[in-house]
A and B are shown apart, each in its own frame.
Chain A
Amino acid sequence: MSGHDHGDDGVNRRKVLECMTWAGTGVLWTITGGVPRSLGIVDSVQAAEAPGMTFLQISDSHVGFDKPANPNALGTLEEAVNKINAMPAKPSFMIHTGDITHLSKAAEFDNAERIISQTKLDVHYVPGEHDFLDEEVKFYRDRYGRGTKGQGWYSFDAGGVHFIGLVNVVDLKAGGLGNLGAEQLAWLEDDLRGKSKSTPVVLFAHIPLWTVYPQWGWGTEDGARALEYVKGFGSVTVLNGHIHQVMQKVEGNVTFHTARSTAFPQPAPGAAPSPGPMKVEDAKLRSMLGVASINFKQGNQPLAIIDTPLQG
């Protein structure tokens, strides 16, 4: 890495903008000087040997979904959990980027909990719009809202990394996208105040914080405000769900990444009349569902995200 002389974060600020989509087996990406570099196809054994802290991202379980795109969303969540349990090295914890359930029914939350708890990992949740559908909007909050602020946002530290869980599925405006709101943005600014700029930051929320495809509502109205607050930090990773496919973009010091669903795939932006569940051949379904494993190595800050489908 050359030409990095900006402060103590060791990151080349050369502006890089790339947008990629993959389907298929796991690809290990490492970020050096803000440039993503593929290390090729890897399996979970190699992933486990990567040094540093590893955590998992799981997303869009849609427990209760039973339509043709996947008649058994609970079953594929269980397959994902089995895959996690079979990992040779235990990750530090897991984040779930929302849409745990399909219709926010108590039984759906209970079933999701019954399966996900089999990982015996700490799980940090943020809600998707499918988790706030019950009349009183209390099932999610009763289970996962304790100790959170506002509609359920919070932060925590692990392995020297500052994690921030945001809620962008509430109070959506007609014609608009995902929404963080003034109260949450003020909290975020305050949460980051005084943090060393060399602290790696991970922002996670359900709907992408970057504009993926506004025609389908895939973006967050005031996401750019949140990104302003993390601008000075040397390493920022933004992890989202909602779009049920892997997408990555690197912009300067910020890496954006979306995870696969464990329930059903959705079409690539504009590739279908709507973003609704995509029915694929039964044999292909499991190659389009999966989990992501994220590895942080302290020091020169390479970052690796490995997306592992349920079936290669």
Chain B
Amino acid sequence: MKTLNRRDFGVAVAAAMLLPVTHARADDMEVHIDNFTFQPAELTVKVGTTVTWTNRDDIPHTIVSAGKFRSKTLDTDNQFSFTFTAAGDYKYFCSLHPHMTGLIKVE
């Protein structure tokens, strides 16, 4: 990475300061799909948390929790978000590659 000059550095600091306002809420969580696995495969969150899944594979995947939520097909870099409003264990899987499974524990 090249060294930032003073002006760029100033812009970077300003952008960083804006982050808490413009970016997602602090307790929101992310799950990545890499190499046909959900990472982390198990995640514990508080009620009200929004979890966002990002597909980083070259192959499409889905996020399906029977009776709870179901994403559209996510192509590379596509995302799916779900806000957990009730406590419980949410098992989910990829309906295209069902050996891919994950769990969100909501407390």
User: Using a CB–CB distance below 8 Å, which chain A residues touch chain B?
Assistant: 67-69, 102-104, 129-130, 133, 135, 172-177, 214-217, 273-277
Contacts and interface: CB of A to CB of B under 8 A. Distances in A.
Q: Taking each of B72, B97, B101, which has the highest tally of chain A beta carbons within 10 Å of its own beta carbon?
A: B97
B59 A276 contact: yes
Given A217-B98, A277-B58, 20 more contacts: A67-B58, A67-B76, A103-B75, A130-B60, A133-B73, A133-B96, A135-B72, A172-B95, A172-B98, A174-B98, A174-B101, A175-B93, A175-B98, A176-B99, A273-B35, A274-B36, A274-B57, A275-B36, A276-B58, A276-B59
Nearest to A170: B95
B89 to A, nearest CB: 13
Interface residues of B, number: 22
Nearest to A176: B98
B99 A175 contact: yes
A174 B60 contact: no
Interface string B45-89: 000000000000111100010100000110110000000000000
A274 B98 contact: no
A69 to B, nearest CB: 7
10 contacts: A102-B60, A103-B73, A130-B60, A133-B60, A172-B98, A174-B66, A174-B91, A174-B98, A175-B98, A276-B58
Contacts of B37: 274
A175 B101 contact: yes
Given A130-B60, A175-B93, A217 B99 contact: yes
